[in-house]
Structure 1
Amino acid sequence: MRKFLKLFGLLLVVLLTVAIYLNYPKLNFITGFASKSVCSCTFLADRSLASIEAQDNDFSPIDLATNKIDFENKSVTSTVFGLKARTAVFKPGLGCILIPEGADPAALTVKPNRDITPKPLAFPYGDLPQKDTIFSNINYDVLNQAVTDAFDSGNDRIKGSRAVLVVYKDHIIAEKYSKDFNKDTKILGWSMTKSITSAIVGVLEKQGRVNRNQSHLFESWEGDKRADITLNNLLQMNSGLAWEEDYNNISDVTKMLFLRADMPKIPREKNLEGIPNNSWNYSSGTTNLISGFIRDQFKTDQDYLDFWYTELIDKIGMHSMTIETDLKGHFVGSSYGWATARDWSKFGLLYLHNGNWNGEQILTKDWVDYTKTPTNTSDGIYGAQFWLNAGGRYPDVPKDLFSCNGYQGQQVSIIPSKDVVIVRFGLIEDPIFSFNDFLSGILAAIN
């Protein structure tokens, strides 16, 4: 028995050594992802470490990390077998920031001013309960079954849904959450945040401060062909700039999110490798470049931080939302927007109502129409930081659907022909979780 245990122990050491050797170049990203995830889920979403490690960080190789929470200093440090410690720090109003090696987290002191005064109106325009309404054209048995079918039963991990919300004619007609989640839980939208960034540009254009067709966007681009790239090209992911969006390896996007203090800097320094308006390429770097462009429209960091909330987010009652920043104070507009499912649905409703929010035109109808216009060379799947069904991506769902989509199957689907917004949060995405079946199942209940 003793000999067996020695051999088993030796084998375990060998396996651990091989695992470390194979993953060592990625350790910065493993511990960076782990610490950032635990920090945000702890201090923004008020979830337990056990829940975070069992759900959000339970995939290889992220599950190699050991995470320690410092509640007094509101930070999280993660390591892999004691190696490559990375720390994320919570900043009030800014969320959790992953600190690059050698950087000073105390350098960032500005935070956005928020107006979260509750309005004495029913959802979605205020915080009062909505009036009980039964729609005669809805088969509630079919609806509730479709929503239930989106969730796992028991300890299964097949569908991975955490939240589903269906809003029809401004009324919540279905709402369901998984264990550890409820209507007040803030959930990370990942790339759904790109659509928020697009909306901010829409607000700026409505105010006459920018124009989607303007070029000469950055001083460092003057003197080369990048000066001809338009804001429209960036919004449509069609700039021609080099970018590698690969989350499984060391790539442009992982370097940006997990190593850099100034996220817009990486895409701004990229060369032109394609033809603007003829080179669609999905790029989180492009969205953070847009965030950097937005910053350039303001005199101070304070004005920039305040604008996103005062002119859009808080104006439509998304008071639970926090968009996290990098260490230079840029909103990480590509990836780091947190809000409750109900508040995410409000953003969808703004677009469903052509930019009008309870009588106030926040975005022009023209901007909403532009948002859902297919990008050249995208085969009808992408607009201006929104995904489209114009090309029939979901064959059993109306083609007028457009949506905010995020990693692991986060989605706010806007379907004007059905007057409905459908929100889904989860840990599993297409094709394992079929959005075609999910969406069409819900829509089948609305006659």
Structure 2
Amino acid sequence: MKKIWSLVIPVCFFAACSSSDSETPQENPDNEAMYFPDNNSDVWETKDISTMEWNEAAVQPLLDFLEEKHSRSFMILVNGRIVMEEYFNGHTATTPWYWASAGKTLTATMTGIAEQEGFLNINDKVSDYLGIGWTSEPLAKENLITNRHLLTMTSGLDDANGDDVSPANLQYKADAGTRWAYHNVYVKLQDVIAEATGQTWENYFNAKLKTPIGMNGTWLESGDDLSVYWSTTRSMARFGLLALNNGKWKSQQVINTAYFNAMTTPSQGINKSYGYLWWLNGKESYHMPQTQFQFDGELIPTGPSDMFMALGKNDQKIYVIPSKKMVIIRMGDAADEANWALSGFDEDLWEKISAVIN
């Protein structure tokens, strides 16, 4: 395990460094300026944990738990500043790792950006952009599916056949809007964006999100018609910081507030703990990936009720907690058994985190 709570480490992976902007403070209700790292480097302001009135005696049990549970990196930001930054099992600040389904939130964000630029409307039919026959459904059923249904996991397409999003595998299960099912068909939004903008998905992503907030990383192919984002931990933290600030980076509103708010609040009445590809804590019920059961209560009872989350396979995590002005990142291998997004690890991890921050 390598501790670097207060260490400043330059990082440049793939096209990491953008070409403008200096750090810009932004006032928040706690009267401490919100900090954003410079876009041109990975120098990052830190805050000493001893100034936080946290329970420092609980820090080492948290770190031991993270290492025991196959973590590779862990970071806590408060008001944008790094309070904890830890690397385990040979991972470093410059090592890229996959986001898995936590990267769905990148696609949701890019959909909102493309809409605000006038390229698409989330209420339009997907076939308006991809043409008819992008599924194997009867045309009348295919025409029910809108971009919003892909954002909310309510396409009605059969989710039983894994990651394959070829037309042959996209088969009718229910009318769009009547069934929530965790499904990789959301990736078709990347094709919608490419068709609508006349650019490749990655070029548009780089220009409108990656570069404006100084992220590094790249999309790597993962099976047919799927790609997964890989980046360093600090780049994942940059995206979490953008989310903490309601889509604003320094003085630039990268994604408009109205869409951002819709993205991070319940998007339909079936799974109340799901927005536009973001998971939401503190709601009265939830659904899990790969089931049609409704569970009562909130997703993570040990976590803050206002928390919203990007959750990926094998416990890739971005936790955003507005009430605490906090972003928490966890990257690594599966804590216990392989999982799709949510796992019992979330609840156990938040017991350990709460012991520190409360």
Does the pair score TM above 0.5?
Answer: yes
Which structure has the larger Rg over C-alpha atoms? Answer: 1
User: Does 1:141 pair with 2:56?
Assistant: yes
User: Does 1:371 pair with 2:271?
Assistant: no
Encode CA deviations 1:81-117: one digit per residue, 9 max, x unaligned.
xxxxxxxxxxx97xxxxxxxxxxxxxxxxxxx98634
Give the distance between the partners of 2:45 and 2:98, measured in 1 at CA: 29
**Which residue of the partner structure matches residue 233 of structure 1?**
149
Compute the displacement of 1:418 (Å).
1.2
Compute the displacement of 1:295 (Å).
1.8
Distance 1:316 1:436, change over 3 A: same
**What secondary structure, in the 3-state scheme, does the structure 2 residue paired with 1:292 have?**
helix
Give the distance between the partners of 1:292 and 1:307, measured in 2 at CA: 11
**What secondary structure, in the 3-state scheme, does the structure 2 residue paired with 1:164 have?**
strand
Give the distance between the partners of 1:363 and 1:241, measured in 2 at CA: 29
Alignment of structure 1 residues 12-27 onto 2, 5 Å? none
Distance 1:118 1:366, change over 3 A: closer
Please give the TM-score of this superposition, normalised by the length of structure 1.
0.63
Compute the displacement of 1:118 (Å).
7.3
**Which residue of the partner structure matches residue 113 of structure 2?**
203
Structure 1 unmatched ranges of 5 or more: 1-91, 94-112, 153-157, 245-250, 257-263
Give the distance between the partners of 1:237 and 1:421, measured in 2 at CA: 25
Compute the displacement of 1:269 (Å).
6.1
Compute the displacement of 1:140 (Å).
5.5
**What secondary structure, in the 3-state scheme, does the structure 2 residue paired with 1:411 have?**
strand
**Which residue of the partner structure matches residue 50 of structure 1?**
none
Alignment of structure 1 residues 210-225 onto 2, 5 Å? 210-215=120-125, 216-217=127-128, 218-221=130-133, 223-225=139-141
Compute the displacement of 1:225 (Å).
2.1
Per chain length, whose mean CA-contact separation is higher, i.e. which structure has more relative contact order (CA < 8 Å, sep 6+)?
Answer: 2
**Which residue of the partner structure matches residue 400 of structure 1?**
306
Cα pair 1:381 1:393 within 8 Å, conserved: yes
**What secondary structure, in the 3-state scheme, does the structure 1 residue paired with 2:299 have?**
coil
**Which residue of the partner structure matches residue 415 of structure 1?**
321
Encode CA deviations 1:49-90: one digit per residue, 9 max, x unaligned.
xxxxxxxxxxxxxxxxxxxxxxxxxxxxxxxxxxxxxxxxxx
Structure 2 unmatched ranges of 5 or more: 1-12, 24-34, 284-297, 338-342
User: Does 1:124 pair with 2:37?
Assistant: yes
Distance 1:118 1:164, change over 3 A: farther
Distance 1:223 1:435, change over 3 A: closer
**Which residue of the partner structure matches residue 74 of structure 1?**
none
Please give the TM-score of this superposition, normalised by the length of structure 2.
0.77
Compute the displacement of 1:159 (Å).
1.0
Compute the displacement of 1:213 (Å).
1.6
Shifted more, 118-127 versus 386-395: the winner is 118-127
One-letter amino acid of the structure 2 residue matched with residue 323 of structure 1 = W
One-letter amino acid of the structure 1 residue matched with residue 189 of structure 2 = I
User: Does 1:272 pair with 2:172?
Assistant: yes
Distance 1:131 1:296, change over 3 A: closer
Distance 1:138 1:276, change over 3 A: farther
Give the distance between the partners of 1:224 and 1:377, measured in 2 at CA: 24
Paired residues in the alignment total 309
Percent identity between the two aligned chains? 25
Cα pair 1:374 1:381 within 8 Å, conserved: yes
Q: Per residue, is there more helix in 1 or in 2?
A: 1
Alignment of structure 1 residues 19-418 onto 2, 5 Å? 116-117=18-19, 121=23, 124-126=37-39, 127=41, 129-134=43-48, 136-139=51-54, 141-142=56-57, 144-145=59-60, 147-152=62-67, 158-215=68-125, 216-217=127-128, 218-221=130-133, 223-244=139-160, 251-253=161-163, 256=164, 266-267=166-167, 270-284=170-184, 286-301=185-200, 304-319=201-216, 321-325=217-221, 332-333=226-227, 336-391=228-283, 392-418=298-324
**What secondary structure, in the 3-state scheme, does the structure 1 residue paired with 2:132 have?**
helix
Give the distance between the partners of 1:268 and 1:361, measured in 2 at CA: 40
